[in-house]
Structure 1
Amino acid sequence: MKAFFRIALLITAVAFSAATTLQAQRVVKGTVYRDGEPAAGITVEVHRGGTMLTGFDGQYELEAHEKSKWIKFTYINDTKKLDIDDKQGNVFDFAWSGEIPSGDEEEETGEVVLKTAEELINEQDRDFMNTYSLYNEYYKQENYESALPHWKTVFNKYPKSIKNVYIQGAKIYDHFIENAETPEEREKYIDQLMKIYDKRVKYFGEKGYVLGRKATDFLDYKLNTDTPPEGEALKETMKKGYEWLNQSIEEQQTETELPIFVLMMQTTRSLFKLGEIPKETVVRNFDKCNNLLNTIKSEAEEDKKLEDITKVQAYIEEIFGSSGAADCEALISIFQPQYEENKEDAEFIKSMLRRLGDANCDESQLFAQATERLYELEPSAEAAFNMARRYVQRDETERAKKYYQEAMDQETDDDLLAKYYYEYAYFIFAKENALSEARSYARKALDINSDYCEALMLIGDIYVSASNSFGDDAFDKASVFWLAVDYFERARRAGQDCAIDASQKVSTYRKYFPNKEEAFFRDVQEGDSYKVGGWINETTTARF
């Protein structure tokens, strides 16, 4: 009987397989493009057929049903559909954004010689040797303009000759990007730099490593500019960088360069704040990065590397904690048993309080217990700072101010002191609307770290708040927004930590700039230096 059932099951399985084969009469395939380039990380699903994720070449090939009606393309949380019900053939290229390339790009034209530099030299290929020599000589002189035409010849005709063509080509285009005269010219150079990275992968591999470098340059150049992307363009920029970073870490695993973990978490946080990824993805990415860092740490032998890994872990924990995705209940369930075992360890309590504070879990009973315990063990500046935060939550303003002052008076570490100045400034701004005093402490934080983006954002917010009661007329009030936007712009350029919020505030508050008619009666022209007086007493640039 058992044998019969085994045979029956086998027959059923074979019959099902045969039926599936008979139904899947069609195989659809194609390439997915983003902005003219093959797109990796796109989930392709065929109606009544299969599903797959595109790789670096952007290609897909899936079994379909003869009556399949559509193909869906999903990138993170966005889905687009291509109807194929009335289309002939089985090859469907798809442009997620931009256009499907025509295939006539410059680098694909002309003769292509797929030989290494060693082979070309052994064969005495004079064209290669002379061209490479010319470009290399100009490159060493940092005369990149003269090097470029010779570099292009090697890049296009001898793409497999030597890896240095890509490494040095990236440096050449870094120079052009940084010295571009127009936004359009800058974009053209950024696009070319991205193609250099793609072609390097094609001919020399190291996909994970190269994608990490590609994402780093892409996000740096796209975001740190006088004309950063906004709205949907900003989302697309962040998603593209995120895609490359994600692939880089998947490929590299424990060989991932440490800065890539930081950039991955920064980009993750930004996309979460933009509503492009769910909380679960933030948690998953943090776990992945942290677990890989723990493995790297366990294998590290040099003290310097251990120190660097510890700093990176602390930073990504801070990013995760401040993302808004870190759930207090989950964090407390993790830390509560650890705290019970480490009540006498001041360093552990400090680390735990920092993470709970970054995640805005300072109203919890655990935070209160640990704060008091740390002050008992070590009445240090940091312990006083945590006591201040506790009294802020209890709305005991005067006691909070007392501990803030104690922390600021005692602290000797510049980074922590800047943080205390900033938090005190934010506290008296939020609780007492003490605009001038709050700005004074925010400036103290900036005196220590001029790129402290949260302090820059705070001064911008202070000026926005001041605008309603400032000056004698509408022009005086509106002129304050010039200064506010100045600070939001500085915060945006200071790094990814504030880039999203700063960009949104720039977009919001420049709408309140004075208009040209008001300025005309003040004899103020576009681009003039303008002094905003009163207690603000700062100079800005007029724009409309």
Structure 2
Amino acid sequence: MNTKFLFTIAAGLALSTSSISAQATDCATTASIAYEHAKVKNYQAAEEPLWKVRKECPTYSLATYQFGEKLLKDKLNKAAAADKKTIANELITLLKERFQYFPSKTKIGNMHGAIGQIMFDNKIGTIDTQYAELDKAWTEDKDNVSNPKNVYTYFYLLVELHEKGKRELQDVFDLYDGVIEKIEDEESKKAKIIAELTEKEESGTALSSKEKKKLSRSGKILSNYSKVKAGVNQKLGELADCKNLIPLYTGQFEAKKTDINWLKGAASRMSSKECTDDPLFFKLVEALHKADPSAKTAYYLGILALKDKKTSVGLKYFNQSAELETKSSDKAKVYFRIAEVLKKQGSKGKARGYYRKALKYRPSMGTAYLRIASMIASSANNCGTDVFSKRAVYWLAENYARRAGKVDPSLKSTASKTAANYKAKAPSKTDIFNNPGVSSVSIGCWIGETVRVPKL
């Protein structure tokens, strides 16, 4: 082979390798400059080098898109109304580019949820196209739809489409069930963290800085989901009232009475909306129990038994339902219902046991803590040996009331007022001073717990 020709090829390869190396070095240098500015939120200085990396080295690093998203969100928040749509569209483009170049590090649920929310917030597209993005997120990757706001907007848009005649009422009900399940699952995760860390604090163990941040963040997320749940229920509004449910399901019954999924949904919705006095509810339960005896049918039979004042029969059905139920949030509801019956009968110890079971399966059920607090407070005179120990019972009641507000932000105001009321009835600073050396009080009778003497 011609020596001159070989030399030319070698030289070309050297130049090509040198060019690639130089480009890689340039990408690294430019990216370093952009990222350093972005880290300290100096987005004005970061913008030019960041977009250079985005254009010339799109696969260099995921950080390009992470910082780019923060930069554009900051820009969007500060922009004049006339400029927002343009910036919002650029943010959507960036999110799609991230998926294009880093698909394995981009969650479908997060991406399409974010795009749908941006479109909704900035009036981009139609209700149909906004809904389509959020629907893609939900149907393809529901587990990674992590922003509470996305969940609310998704449901809001479906109701709007229904009101325009583009979706059936049944579609709204079906999505409502899924949304509430998602919210309650997320609430339970955060409430469990809060309950565990709160109990650790109450035991006298100081939380680490990491645990404090975790507690604070969990509280904020839980609060957001609580607001979303309230918003979803408000948006559903009269659509799910008995006056709409009864005629809807009455009209569908003959055609659907052998459809197990339909029977389950109809019975569940009528039960949750207290439409159980209507004869249709009995027909639904009877048909469902015949077609598919389950935890749900046992629960509904329990409701009907209570209406006939057959309490022991009702409790028997409820316990069967709880044992058969596989869904944690529904198991919690059954246990709560049993606890309510037992509380009304005056069986406080047993009632507390079932409230605790409810909390085990749904840690965000703050109402259960309030019920326990109420029973404890009402037993103050019976569960102490002297004035100090009797009044100390209120400290325990106060602790339970405060937990209610921590795991369920919607109860924060009620829980705070209830706790303050119990605190006012507990031993004062003078009482504590007159009982030196007492660091905790063991409470007897059905309560059987120990409460620490607080530092007032």
Query: Normalized against structure 2, the TM-score is what?
Result: 0.55
Is 1:154 the counterpart of 2:42? The answer is yes
User: d(CA) in 1 for partners of 2:88 and 2:306?
Assistant: 54
CA offsets 1:424-454 (integer angstroms, 9 cap, x no match): 112222x313211011112223334444444
Distance 1:508 1:132, change over 3 A: same
Shift of 1:407: 2.0
Shift of 1:337: 1.3
- Across the aligned residues of Structure 1 and Structure 2, the Cα RMSD in angstroms comes to 5.0
Is 1:425 the counterpart of 2:327? The answer is no
Contact in 2 for aligned 1:457/1:488 (Cα 8 Å) = yes
Task: Kindly report which structure 2 residues correspond to 1:39-118, keeping only aligned pairs within 5 A, or say none.
Answer: none
Task: Kindly report which structure 2 residues correspond to 1:203-222, keeping only aligned pairs within 5 A, or say none.
Answer: 204-205=87-88
Is 1:346 the counterpart of 2:260? The answer is yes
Unaligned runs of 5+ in 2: 1-22, 52-62, 94-116, 125-129, 139-144, 168-173, 185-228
User: d(CA) in 2 for partners of 1:289 and 1:521?
Assistant: 67
Is 1:355 the counterpart of 2:269? The answer is yes
Is 1:132 the counterpart of 2:132? The answer is no
Task: Kindly report which structure 2 residues correspond to 1:224-239, keeping only aligned pairs within 5 A, or say none.
Answer: none
Among residues 131, 139, 145, which one is paired with 1:253 in the alignment?
A: 131
User: d(CA) in 1 for partners of 2:353 and 2:262?
Assistant: 33
Among residues 312, 322, 325, which one is paired with 2:179 in the alignment?
A: 312
For 2:55, the equivalent position in structure 1 comes to: none
Distance 1:349 1:130, change over 3 A: closer
Shift of 1:416: 3.4
Task: Kindly report which structure 2 residues correspond to 1:18-29, keeping only aligned pairs within 5 A, or say none.
Answer: none
Is 1:288 the counterpart of 2:160? The answer is yes
Is 1:504 the counterpart of 2:382? The answer is no
For 1:368, the equivalent position in structure 2 comes to: 282
Distance 1:332 1:452, change over 3 A: same
User: d(CA) in 2 for partners of 1:473 and 1:170?
Assistant: 63
Query: Normalized against structure 1, the TM-score is what?
Result: 0.47
Distance 1:154 1:516, change over 3 A: same
User: d(CA) in 2 for partners of 1:392 and 1:208?
Assistant: 56
Among residues 407, 413, 428, which one is paired with 2:321 in the alignment?
A: 407
For 2:243, the equivalent position in structure 1 comes to: 329
The alignment partner of 1:471 has SS state of coil
Distance 1:153 1:386, change over 3 A: closer
Letter in 1 for 2:446: W
User: d(CA) in 2 for partners of 1:539 and 1:352?
Assistant: 46
For 2:127, the equivalent position in structure 1 comes to: none
CA offsets 1:340-385 (integer angstroms, 9 cap, x no match): 3211222211111111222222233222221222223333222111
Letter in 1 for 2:45: K
Contact in 1 for aligned 2:383/2:443 (Cα 8 Å) = no
Unaligned runs of 5+ in 1: 1-120, 136-149, 172-191, 211-243, 268-282, 296-306
The alignment partner of 1:423 has SS state of helix
User: d(CA) in 2 for partners of 1:249 and 1:365?
Assistant: 48
Letter in 2 for 1:509: A
Shift of 1:129: 5.8
CA offsets 1:171-218 (integer angstroms, 9 cap, x no match): 9xxxxxxxxxxxxxxxxxxxx9x96872599684259989xxxxxxxx
User: d(CA) in 2 for partners of 1:369 and 1:501?
Assistant: 36
Contact in 2 for aligned 1:481/1:510 (Cα 8 Å) = no
Q: Bigger relative contact order, structure 1 or 2, given CA contacts below 8 A and separation 6+?
A: 2
CA offsets 1:253-297 (integer angstroms, 9 cap, x no match): 332354489657879xxxxxxxxxxxxxxx9777238889x97xx
User: d(CA) in 2 for partners of 1:417 and 1:425?
Assistant: 12
CA offsets 1:74-124 (integer angstroms, 9 cap, x no match): xxxxxxxxxxxxxxxxxxxxxxxxxxxxxxxxxxxxxxxxxxxxxxx9xx9
Letter in 2 for 1:157: A
Shift of 1:134: 4.3
| Greater percentage in helix | 2
Contact in 2 for aligned 1:262/1:315 (Cα 8 Å) = no
User: d(CA) in 2 for partners of 1:246 and 1:487?
Assistant: 43
User: d(CA) in 1 for partners of 2:237 and 2:348?
Assistant: 27
CA offsets 1:484-530 (integer angstroms, 9 cap, x no match): 44334444443xxx3222442223322321222222223379xx665
Contact in 2 for aligned 1:382/1:407 (Cα 8 Å) = yes
| Greater percentage in strand | 1
Shift of 1:473: 5.3
For 1:177, the equivalent position in structure 2 comes to: none
Letter in 1 for 2:298: A
Shift of 1:542: 4.2
The alignment partner of 2:430 has SS state of helix
The alignment partner of 1:205 has SS state of helix
The count of corresponding residues between Structure 1 and Structure 2 is 324
For 1:198, the equivalent position in structure 2 comes to: 77
